[in-house]
Structure 1
Amino acid sequence: MRNVKTFVPQCLFAWALFAHGAAQAVPSYHVTVNTAAYTGQALMDFTFLANAGVTPATAVLNHFVGAFGPEFDRSTGVTGLVPGQVALGNQGGGSYFTQWVSLGGLFSFDVQFDGDYASTVNVDASQFNATLYSSGFGSYIGGAGSFAAFELLPLSNGSPGQVLVSSPNGMGTVSAIPEPSGLFLSGLAVLGLVRRHKRRRVAASRHAPSTGHDI
């Protein structure tokens, strides 16, 4: 009975990890940009561009950290607000979202891409860019180009879709967020170690010398 009581919660825990992984297995990335070398107000622009025939995809931004100010502008169809969650689509030529920021510190956010682009044959790719501009879009902050760029490549010629990541102006850092499926495998490994440890304890107790006390 004791083994059953222990094993059932462990199975439920492993299944919860698996279910979470199955529900969340879409590409996610953490983006940081350090503006310590700059001062004043600037515009942080997020743009999701694509041709008219591209496979639908959505970019979801959240976990905003940094001196974000009020919203500057957005295109039709963009939903959400900073510091909560903002979603942009690539349909109808794309969409954009622009936010005022105060330079001088570190900014970060997460971006997650969803849609069937990775499993749908197409010749059109999507491009998501995060860029810093001076007030009025007069010039780039930190060099020409975006500090984070993502190219969503669809399924083509038998090659599965993928996301190509770069920092064109070298100012940003982009790191992939491990998918929960990896967490599931790690959970199974931990459960395996726990079970092995318990078996060793049982075996050791069976071979332990008797105390000599009889009741």
Structure 2
Amino acid sequence: MTNLNNLLSRALLALALLAGATAAQANPIYHVAVDTSAASGDGYLQIDFLPFLTSDVLTATISGLDGAFTGTPDLVNVVQSGGAYTFKSDAFSEFFQSIVLGGQFGFDVTFGGTPLDGGSTSLTVDLLNAAGDYLAYPAASISLVAGLPPAVATDAAFATVNPVPEPADWMLVAAGLVLLAWTQRRRLR
């Protein structure tokens, strides 16, 4: 009976790991945080999504914009739906927004696919002052290339980019802990 219980508990653990592994293959969500506390006055936040030597049409969706934005954004080949902005890589796509420098800005970004034809695409975040001069070019960038993990680069003085744990990740951890506790409890009996 003990061997059967061990087999069942290991099978449950393997299934939980398999379910988590398939969820982990989805496109990750990144949180981009921009700190403009070293600057003051009016400025601009510019977000571009550009293809490089690829004909694959990819998307980037930003949501949860937070910070001292002023006016309305200037959108070029970007579709706004509710609080989300979707960029497509088949043409120059740009989000350009006036901001008040001196505070924190942030948003989440997720990508729809990676290039499959050997090219790449990149989301860049730039900061400009009121005169249109770059304070950070780029403050942050996320590049997608076929077969490689996303490449993240930041100007440490202005920005950070971190992956956001998905609910499936938390469920995988919780399932693993429950199964470990159950297995330990069975062993103590």
Residues 79-90 of structure 1 mapped to structure 2, 5 A cutoff: 79-80=80-81, 84-90=83-89
Match of 1:55, SS?
coil
Q: 1:125 aligns with which of 97, 120, 125?
A: 120
**1:116 positional shift:** 4.5
Match of 2:119, SS?
coil
Match of 2:182, SS?
helix
Q: What residue ranges of structure 1 are gaps of 5+ in the alignment?
A: 1-10, 155-159, 204-215
Change (3 A) 1:27 1:188: same
Q: Distance in 1 between matches of 2:154 and 2:33?
A: 11
Q: Distance in 2 between matches of 1:53 and 1:24?
A: 22
Deviations 1:24-64 (A, max 9, x none): 82122111111112211211011001147432211111122
Structure 1 stretches (4+) deviating beyond 4 angstroms?
Answer: none
**1:174 positional shift:** 1.1
Residues 57-68 of structure 1 mapped to structure 2, 5 A cutoff: 57-68=58-69
Match of 1:123, SS?
coil
**1:198 positional shift:** 4.9
| Identity value in percent | 28
Aligned length: 175
* Structure 1, 182-191 or 59-68: larger mean CA deviation: 182-191
Residue in 1 that maps onto 2:106: 108
Query: More strand per residue: 1 or 2?
Result: 2
Match of 2:138, SS?
coil
Query: Is this contact kept in 2: 1:54–1:125, CA < 8 A?
Result: no
The one-letter amino acid paired with 2:97 is: Q
Q: 1:140 aligns with which of 131, 134, 145?
A: 134
Q: Distance in 1 between matches of 2:122 and 2:155?
A: 13
Residue in 1 that maps onto 2:6: none
